[in-house]
Amino acid sequence: MILVTGATGTVGRPLVADLAAAGHPVRALTRSPRTATFPAGVESCDSAHPDLDGVTSVFVNPAALWRSERTLFDAARAAGVTRVVTLSSSSVLTGDSDHAVANRHRELEAAAEDAAPEFVHLRPDAFAANARQWIGQVRTGDTVAGPYAHAVTAPVHEDDLAAVAARALTGSIPSGEAPVLTGPQPLSFTEQVGILGATLGRPLRYREIPHAAARDAMLSGPWMTEEIADSLLRYFASCVETPTPVSPDLERILGHPGRTFAEWTADRVAEFR
């Protein structure tokens, strides 16, 4: 049995679908087990009371657990879970000891390694799905305002992350590996908005706003802390001078290039209209 946390989330939902389609028994952890819908044969489980009976592999998305993963790891250890796969972050590779996101994921990785004899850490860079933060602006105008217009990342499609996670959970990726997962193209925020505009058939443009204004805007959102906002903005600033490189790991694991940002926008176009 494979337990998937964050089963209705950005990565969790396609992961559950991939595993179920391949015939693997799946238990989907969700805050709303009575109303969440999953493919036939998938068990639904309340995230407040995770059932690890018979579970051999666990996918851990820390965003879905809201810092309660210690309880899950304790339960996994007690249940004799063999393998833990974490949705970590490439930020752990930075040398920034004050990077809140990196430190959070370093702690996650260490806890996972202590919870099970086998572990794989997935370290994605930017998610293509981060573009969803622009939905409100796109629906009301042709300008997207944000920080560091020329910060270059390599956004990865969540369906590719799910495909890699499925391989990790089922043993196709050796224990101890920590693949860095990016999309196939390095793109600035300006270029991403341009691609989104082309998909929508609209002349969208990105307008850079000052660091302080961007910080204030980030802190106005739910669940954002000053430490995380500062870490993210420092990262974006660094990506202006040092663009994020494209990692070969995703293509190596899947056997084909990852989906492009243009493919992501085409898959999600209805969300922006």
Q: How many domains does the chain have?
A: 1
Alpha carbon distance 122, 111 (integer Å): 14
Residue 123 lies in a domain: yes
Summarised one tens digit per residue, pLDDT across range 182-215 is: 999 999 999 999 999 999 999 999 999 999 999 9
Comparing C-alpha atoms, which of 170, 80, 140, 96 is closest to residue 272? 140
Summarised one tens digit per residue, pLDDT across range 1-48 is: 999 999 999 999 999 999 999 999 999 998 887 888 999 999 998 877
Residue 16 lies in a domain: no
Summarised one tens digit per residue, pLDDT across range 231-251 is: 899 999 999 999 999 999 999
Residue 112 lies in a domain: yes
Comparing C-alpha atoms, which of 180, 123, 168 is closest to residue 19? 168
The CATH code of the domain that includes 151 is: 3.40.50.720
Residue 15 lies in a domain: no
Residue 265 lies in a domain: yes
| Domain encompassing residue 198 | 82-272
Residue 64 lies in a domain: no
Residue 9 lies in a domain: no
Per DSSP, the three-state class of 72 is: helix
Residue 35 lies in a domain: no
Q: What's residue 223's pLDDT? A: 78
Per DSSP, the three-state class of 144 is: strand
